Amino acid sequence: MKIGIVGLGLIGGSLGLDFRRLGHQVLGVARRAATGEAAIACGAVDQASTELQSLQAADIVFLCTPIHMIEAISIDLIPHLSPQTILTDVGSVKGAIVDAVTPHWPNFVGGHPMAGKTEVGIAVAEPHLFAQRAYVITPVATTPTTAVAVLRELATALQAQVLTCTPAQHDRAVAWISHLPVMISGSLIQACLNEPDAHIRKLAESLASSGFCDTSRVGGGHPELGLMMARYNRDEVLRSLQAYQQEIQQLTTLVATDQWAALAARLTENHQARSRFIQSTPEPDTAAP
């Protein structure tokens, strides 16, 4: 299959490495020529260009740019595609993208490979990034079943676990497990920075170890990703932040009023529930069309 990838960063580059390993021909489009050259050098693409028209022979094109570029790039790309070409994206938000791109190209199917790293860019792209991770596909009523089937097949070949749901369901679920954690983790770092005593702040920096490393990791990641999550999944991020504020308020009350038994019950529930979220392999797809 001829696979086009626009945006040769962490996700686009990692997809390219795997698709080439699986025997597909990968045509890359980068914003900067240097990124395309780096993608060729590391084996992520067979050929690279800065021109979207270089993808006219592609059977499927993955849009792997930052979220805010996806609609504009799809509009520029469409005149170069044949009607059979499947268009998909990897954006971490689905409702806004699917709503924006589907009217331009009915053969579009939204996708979200749920794997990532703190660093971004082609230099940190790696093979097998998507293995044993969820790959969410978000068709709508008008999405051609062949487009879904082709994307499902490619994602399965990456050894990802394919899940299908609506864009709205995706956005609500990822607000809880991805977007809210980025906001909370970031606000933890901010709260530490707000310590008024400079000596204590310095001491805390020196003492921070694995616990802080775990809890601050996603909040200290690439700023653009967090900004895009909040901007393009605004309603669900707000909803989850408000629910989280209530949770913090209840927790504050328990501590302030010495309700240790109630706090212990809550912590026990957390201890038992965590494993349901941190399973190494996602559940098989139950919503497959």
Binding site for ligand NAP (CB under 6 A): 6-12, 29-32, 35, 64-67, 69, 73, 90-92, 113, 116, 120-122, 225, 228
- Residue 88 or 92 with smaller CB distance to ligand NAP: 92
Please say which residue, 271 or 277, places its beta carbon nearer to ligand NAP: 277
Nearer to ligand NAP, 202 or 217 (CB): 217
C-alpha angle 66-100-2 in degrees, rounded to nearest 5 = 65
Smallest distance from ligand NAP to CB 46, Å: 17
280: burial class by Cβ within 10 Å (0-12, 13-18, 19+)? exposed
To ligand NAP, the closest distance from the beta carbon of 49 in angstroms equals 10
> What single-letter amino acid sits at 223?
P
Nearest-approach distance from CB 15 to ligand NAP, in angstroms: 9
CA triple 90-54-154, angle to 5 deg: 35
Nearer to ligand NAP among residue 66 and residue 266 (C-beta)? 66
What distances in angstroms separate CA 205 from CA 69, 185, 213, 253, one per listed residue? 37, 16, 11, 28
Helix (H) or strand (E) holding 164: strand 161-164
Residue 136 bridge partners (DSSP): 112, 163
Q: How far is the CB of 279 from ligand NAP (least distance, A)?
A: 19
For ligand NAP, the closer CB: 66 or 282: 66
Least gap, CB of 67 to ligand NAP (angstroms): 5
